[in-house]
Amino acid sequence: MKIFKAQQIRECDQYTIKNEPILSIQLMERAAQTCIDWISENCKNHRNFAIFCGNGNNGGDGFAMARMLYHKGFDVDVFIQSPKAKFSEDATINFKELKEISGITIKDFKDVEDYRFDKRTIIIDALFGTGLSRNLEGDFKNLIDFLNSKTSVKISIDVPSGLLSDGISSDGSTIFKADYTLSFQFWKKSFLHPESGKYTGKVEVLDIDLSEEYISQTETKDFVIDDEVVENIFKPRNEFSHKGTYGKSTIIGGSYGKIGAAVLSTRSALKTGTGLTFTIAPKCGYEILQTSCPEAMFIEGGNDFIQNIEIDENSTYGIGPGLGTQKETMKGFLQFLKEYSKPLILDADALNIISQDEKNLKLIPKKSIITPHPKEFERLFGKTEDSFERVELARKKANELDVYIILKDHHTQVVTPEGNVFYNITGNSGLAKGGSGDILLGILTSFVAQGYSEENAAILGVWFHGKAAEFASEKYSKESMLPTDVINEFGNVFELLNKRAEIEL
């Protein structure tokens, strides 16, 4: 799915109105109806709605929703800034219709302090939508501060009021804190960054049938990794294949006390289907690896830590889990980089070693995949003010080095050498545990070994990792799930992908 800027979304609306053709008021009605359909399905235990409407088209959506909810039998109260407020043309039409319904009470914002919010009341934020370009002030600021203090379920229409669609709001900004955001047609970029995404709650993207022609023809550098993207990448297994069909993976990692990291990466590579799997690790990890991963072959790279890395031009290398940064390990790894030219998957201590000298960045083979978390990214490329600035720096560095950068975050980003950014929307906070990155390294190494391009392996890999985590959390909870539980769900993810592939056929 493409991510468009607020201006592009407005252009998409106008293109749809002109070319469907459809009246703008009818498109507003369509958008409101999709919200009501979602609310009717998901809010069955609530009877009361307090809808807060702004003066623009987002307020018009709110007026239309109030009318529809009333006709479905819900109790509805509507709040506006003032009876004398000047609304947009379409909002005015819906406001006039609303005033003719005697069963709906229209109140001023100033009446909110005397309003009774009970457990069955849902607060609807239809104040600003994508039209906001400044910080909230005055009545709107005071209103949102008050609403944020309430424990009622809060739903924002299109964008939480006070939140910018395309960037980060300034410090101290007042922003509506939604439990759910019903976003029309598209994800907004601000939903996908930690500083701003924390205001959206759970995002539900509602299809309002905007012009497919405009969407397909309009260019962007930002995308969401949705089901359609993944289904176009995934390749089901050929029944007449053999182990040589699915490549050779070599995991390089482990040191005394950190063999578990190499185990997780190795098991992950095995469980994602690589044909042959090798692990280069220190001798101290031999028995552990051979016992826990009997399907993989062990190659000794040192005693208590790795000193020597054996080169196999026919293997795909994933390097870093538990590797350590001992002097001998650093020397052996950097020498390997000087001698090896094919794409690698680099994580953890491999990145920490590289970050110790800026010159080492040039040793990373072109088209490699690197997977830094925010602190590792900072050590590699420098400090940034926020995650928006970090992704822009990642675009620059991915292009300069001709590598793929996976920025690990709540919505992990895959940044390509061409400057495209793919945001992942699978996964959960259960992955915020040591070992989760080791699993991702194994997935990526396996997918590249199996013949996926580096870009497709990165996109499919982060989606796959997150989807397995979702399955694991359903069984064990986000708090109790372990990285090994995530690995054990790989089969269920493949089952899902294969079923979808069959449906496509």
In a domain, 226, yes or no: no
Provide the residue count of the chain: 505
Q: What does the pLDDT read at residue 85?
A: 87
Q: How far is CA 430 from the centre of its chain?
A: 15
User: Which residues form the domain of 33?
Assistant: 6-220
Is the Cβ–Cβ distance between 255 and 324 less than 8 Å?
A: yes
Residue of 432, 491, 430, 494 lying closest to 460 (CA atoms): 494
Contacts of 377 by beta carbon, 8 Å cutoff, 6+ apart:
390, 394, 405, 407
Residue 207 or residue 45, greater confidence? 207
Number of domains within the chain: 2
Please check whether residues 211 and 312 belong to one and the same domain. no
Please check whether residues 318 and 213 belong to one and the same domain. no
Please check whether residues 143 and 239 belong to one and the same domain. no
In a domain, 481, yes or no: yes
Structure-token pair, residue 453: 């391009």
pLDDT band of 408, cuts 50, 70, 90: very high
Q: How confident is the model over 192-230, as pLDDT tens digits?
A: 999 999 999 999 999 999 999 999 999 999 999 999 999
Q: How confident is the model over 61-118, as pLDDT tens digits?
A: 999 999 999 999 999 999 999 888 899 999 999 999 999 999 999 999 999 999 999 8
- Share the mean pLDDT of the chain: 95
In a domain, 416, yes or no: yes
Q: Which of 182, 199, 220 is the last residue of a domain?
A: 220
Question: What's the pTM value of the predicted model, to 2 decimals?
Answer: 0.95
In a domain, 225, yes or no: no
For the chain, report the end-to-end CA distance as a whole number of angstroms. Answer: 22
Q: What does the CA dihedral 341, 343, 344, 350 come to, rounded to 10 degrees?
A: 60
Q: What is the CATH number of the domain that holds 313?
A: 3.40.1190.20
Q: Which of 154, 188, 220 is the last residue of a domain?
A: 220
Please check whether residues 456 and 475 belong to one and the same domain. yes
Q: How far is CA 473 from the centre of its chain?
A: 17
Residue of 316, 249, 321, 339 lying closest to 282 (CA atoms): 321
Please check whether residues 316 and 216 belong to one and the same domain. no
Please check whether residues 329 and 297 belong to one and the same domain. yes
The Cβ of residue 286 has, within 10 Å, a number of other Cβ atoms equal to 14
DSSP 110: G
Is the Cβ–Cβ distance between 52 and 117 less than 8 Å?
A: no
Please check whether residues 345 and 431 belong to one and the same domain. yes
Please check whether residues 215 and 239 belong to one and the same domain. no
Q: What is the CATH number of the domain that holds 188?
A: 3.40.50.10260
326, amino acid identity: Q
In a domain, 1, yes or no: no
Integer Cα distance of 498 and 240 in angstroms: 17
In a domain, 211, yes or no: yes
pLDDT band of 35, cuts 50, 70, 90: very high
Q: Which helix (H) or strand (E) holds 17?
A: helix 6-19
Please check whether residues 245 and 209 belong to one and the same domain. no
In a domain, 482, yes or no: yes
CA torsion through residues 326, 328, 332, 334, sign: positive
CA atoms lying within 13 Å on the CB side of residue 71? 13
Q: Worst-scoring range by mean pLDDT, 68-72, 84-88, 428-432, 437-441?
A: 84-88
For 356-390, the three-class secondary structure string (H helix, E strand, C coil) is CCHHHHHHCCCCCEECCCHHHHHHHHCCCCCHHHH
C-alpha angle with apex 276: 275 to 280, nearest 5 degrees? 150
- What angle in degrees, to the nearest 10, is found between the helix axes of 89-99 and 57-71? 30
β-strands 48-53, 75-80 pairing = parallel
Q: Which of 199, 220, 241 is the last residue of a domain?
A: 220
In a domain, 484, yes or no: yes
Q: Is the predicted pLDDT of residue 135 greater than 90, yes or no?
A: no
Residue with tokens 């424990």: 151
Please check whether residues 238 and 147 belong to one and the same domain. no
Q: What is the DSSP string of 180-244?
A: EEEEESS--GGGGSHHHHTTT-EEEEEP----HHHHHHS--SEEEE-HHHHHHH--PPPTT--GG
Is the Cβ–Cβ distance between 478 and 300 less than 8 Å?
A: no
pLDDT band of 474, cuts 50, 70, 90: very high
Integer Cα distance of 376 and 314 in angstroms: 29
pLDDT band of 245, cuts 50, 70, 90: confident
Please check whether residues 236 and 211 belong to one and the same domain. no
Structure-token pair, residue 35: 């919200």
Residue of 486, 490, 458 lying closest to 223 (CA atoms): 458
Contacts of 220 by beta carbon, 8 Å cutoff, 6+ apart:
2, 3, 4, 5, 8
Please check whether residues 204 and 258 belong to one and the same domain. no
Q: What is the DSSP string of 319-342?
A: E-TT----HHHHHHHHHHHHH--S
Integer Cα distance of 224 and 413 in angstroms: 9
Contacts of 363 by beta carbon, 8 Å cutoff, 6+ apart:
334, 337, 338, 354
Is the Cβ–Cβ distance between 52 and 145 less than 8 Å?
A: no
Helix residue ranges, H only, 454-489? 454-480, 483-488
Q: What does the pLDDT read at residue 503?
A: 67
